[in-house]
Structure 1
């Protein structure tokens, strides 16, 4: 159906009607698989290592998952076109399920790593295709609410994931924590079979760009390896090498007959191109809070794990609440203003964190965290929808599927840059509160500078009012 950007306001309850409830549950559960899995594993894996050994390999359980999830996400749109969304989602969910079972019943860390790699590959495909399905399963007026609902899932996972995993690990076994993914996967498969229609068009014969996918994986691996290099010079070399590899992939992809990305990805003169820069820069800038904030709270101010975790969770709470509050806004000018407000609040929040550590006042740092979460909450859904609906003809799936993949890549790159900055500033060697505070301030100053890139892109983003096609399979 044809729908303009000035559709009338709609109620949240519409997502729960018979028409959209199954689709809402399916996409939210796709997000839940990723969100809960991360918190479940991070909480239970140390206990697993104590039982089966392999402490030296524990970081690879997260690295392999991240690398394979980004590779899977990059291939998501291609698999959707070749196999159809239904087949691709069921296949990737089964892959995730097999990986879960291998990891849950592992007797060595090598088996855990194999399971985590399969989990990452499957979940990367699921996330990409679920994003691509949003504009197909929902009319334009509901898209922002779908992103709001997904933000709620992340907030629930941030609190419930560690709690559930901790209780299962403590009272039953770490294996039980891993196995929580089994019923979630089976429910997801059942929902996909119910809500996602069979493809009525013949599958496209598309060759798999294995070299480009391998290059993407290699680039992200270089980013991950940068954090374990012994010297700042080697870290810089690995990060620079990763940038060259990933930029080369984008350049070659534009000339390929089987592209992974939209044709104007990262262009500086289109809505999609500039929008993708914002999608990349915002998590790159924010990643420092995920890597170093909790650790600094514990080492500088003596916070316990629970207190520090709750402090950090204010980011997810602010994101979720703000995403819900703004989801009813339909006016294009207000949406454009909120997209620009997001990076503005991000930069302001990072700067406030710098001031908070300089003043040695935890509440000021928390205010910065809340500002960052608010920035993501007010802008992320509208930004994602703008990129989706501005894609060129035939490229909407590639633009939509790239969003979660690019977000994950942004966090990986941001973590590497934060680690590089921390090592250069002497964070690991800080033995006094003053030295630790100075190193932390340096980390967040660099993050603030990176955030300015997102801020500039936000104000450069073309957001002209336009009529868009909103596809609704229930009305097809």
Structure 2
């Protein structure tokens, strides 16, 4: 079931036919494990800490998960080539399941942290391989719709995750909220065993480059530490150190006989290389809204947690809605411009948020947040498909698997930069509405400037023959 290059019309109902329904359910469930897990844990973990202690370690429950998920995602393509997609996915799901059970049954915060680390490592591999399977299990005409379906899962998780976790935590136990992942994991394993092939090509006897994976983990850990350290000088040092480490990994990877990334990753003249810069820059720029928007709404305008959370969720709603609306577009020319429209709306949305805080106008800020979500919705699926289909055949798995990993890394880097900016302009020490507003405006101005990098890359994206059918030279 390899992807076809035909661009014929395809309906949403085709994803639910006997030929594709199981594959659709499998990939969407792989996304659901990641999406729901994040919301379940963030809602229930404070109650867990109140019961078993370990408040000082609570941030590490998220940091370890993020770092290990990026390490697992970086190794995903190699594990698929070495063991086959089916074995790698089942092994990763079992690791995720073991981490879930350990965290849910924990009697100390240390056990929770070990469980979260196992969850992150397993989920990173699952996300990477699920992305790599999209062009294998679906024809090209359906790929954008698969991304639309996954965006729908994220929107459901954004609302359903906190609700389910809150109800279970309040009426049963925080442990019950963690255990929601158990049936989801078992269903996922069953679907993988049913529809995922053992090997889509010859098994490769390759070794996993542990040193490079450790370096990736160390680089992301430096980023995570930068987001929680207390001094601006130390934050700058850690972010700079992370940049050096991660850039070195990419440079060494290009010369390796067992590469983790496509050979032209982050090159400045190829579709894959420039496309990956967009995939990195967009979440780096958007991360500030995830870290500081809800907090500012509560502290500046007195929003309650529910109202502020719903305000923030408009990003996910807009992303999902527009991802679904544009998924039917097949014309290469329109897809090319939608990829460029995404970063444009991202920068415009961040600028509108700046104006909204300057005007003290919540509705204007809301418009900016919706604009950012729309930018991701109209472009992300087509951008991902373009990178997948522009990669050399022998490197398609590595290019595809890198997409969710790079997105997670982008959010981590963006959060660190936003935190650095916030500390530099006195956001944590702001005691008046005016000081808080001024600090917030600066944070989002820096984010908009970062977003310009994605915008420039979008208009520099070369469109060649390897991009068909999503984009080609006639599409510009």
1:99-121 per-position Cα deviation (integer Å, ceiling 9, x unaligned): 00000000000000000000000
Cα deviation, residue 393, structure 1: 3.0
Name the structure 2 match of 1:248: 248
1:215-255 per-position Cα deviation (integer Å, ceiling 9, x unaligned): 00000000000022221000000000000000000000000
Name the structure 1 match of 2:299: 299
Name the structure 2 match of 1:369: 369
Kept after mapping to 2: 8 A contact 1:5/1:466: no
Q: Could you tell me how far apart the structure 2 residues matched to 1:153 and 1:83 are?
A: 28
1:267-294 per-position Cα deviation (integer Å, ceiling 9, x unaligned): 0000000000000000000000000000
Name the structure 1 match of 2:9: 9
Kept after mapping to 2: 8 A contact 1:3/1:469: no
Secondary structure in structure 2 of the residue aligned to 1:330: coil
Cα deviation, residue 467, structure 1: 6.8
Q: Could you tell me how far apart the structure 2 residues matched to 1:75 and 1:45 are?
A: 28
1:7-34 per-position Cα deviation (integer Å, ceiling 9, x unaligned): 1211100000000000000000000000
The equivalences for 1:224-235 within 5 A come to: 224-235=224-235
Judge which range, 261-270 or 4-13, deviates more.
4-13
CA distance 1:52–1:149, change in 2 (3 Å): same
Q: Could you tell me how far apart the structure 1 residues matched to 2:467 and 2:411 are?
A: 33
Name the structure 2 match of 1:155: 155
Secondary structure in structure 2 of the residue aligned to 1:192: helix
Name the structure 1 match of 2:474: none
Q: Which runs of 4+ in 1 moved over 6 A?
A: 1-4
Kept after mapping to 1: 8 A contact 2:5/2:139: no
Name the structure 1 match of 2:384: 384
Judge which range, 154-163 or 190-199, deviates more.
190-199
Kept after mapping to 1: 8 A contact 2:3/2:138: no
Higher RCO structure (Cα 8 Å, ≥6 apart): 1
Kept after mapping to 2: 8 A contact 1:223/1:238: yes
Judge which range, 2-11 or 113-122, deviates more.
2-11
The equivalences for 1:65-464 within 5 A come to: 65-199=65-199, 202-464=202-464
Q: Could you tell me how far apart the structure 1 residues matched to 2:73 and 2:422 are?
A: 29
Q: Could you tell me how far apart the structure 2 residues matched to 1:169 and 1:200 are?
A: 42
RMSD: 1.3
Kept after mapping to 2: 8 A contact 1:32/1:153: yes
Secondary structure in structure 2 of the residue aligned to 1:50: helix
CA distance 1:160–1:457, change in 2 (3 Å): same
Q: Could you tell me how far apart the structure 2 residues matched to 1:201 and 1:346 are?
A: 39
CA distance 1:252–1:467, change in 2 (3 Å): closer
Q: Could you tell me how far apart the structure 2 residues matched to 1:311 and 1:227 are?
A: 24
CA distance 1:244–1:466, change in 2 (3 Å): closer
Cα deviation, residue 204, structure 1: 1.0
Name the structure 2 match of 1:474: none
Kept after mapping to 1: 8 A contact 2:2/2:135: no
Name the structure 2 match of 1:33: 33
Structure 2 unpaired stretches of 5+:
471-476
Q: Could you tell me how far apart the structure 2 residues matched to 1:375 and 1:51 are?
A: 42
Q: Could you tell me how far apart the structure 2 residues matched to 1:402 and 1:234 are?
A: 29
Figure out how many residues of one structure are paired with residues of the other and give that number: 470
TM-score for both structures, normalised by structure 1: 0.97
1:176-230 per-position Cα deviation (integer Å, ceiling 9, x unaligned): 0000000000000000000102227552110110000000000000000002222
Kept after mapping to 2: 8 A contact 1:10/1:142: yes
TM-score for both structures, normalised by structure 2: 0.97
1:421-451 per-position Cα deviation (integer Å, ceiling 9, x unaligned): 0000100000000000000000000000000
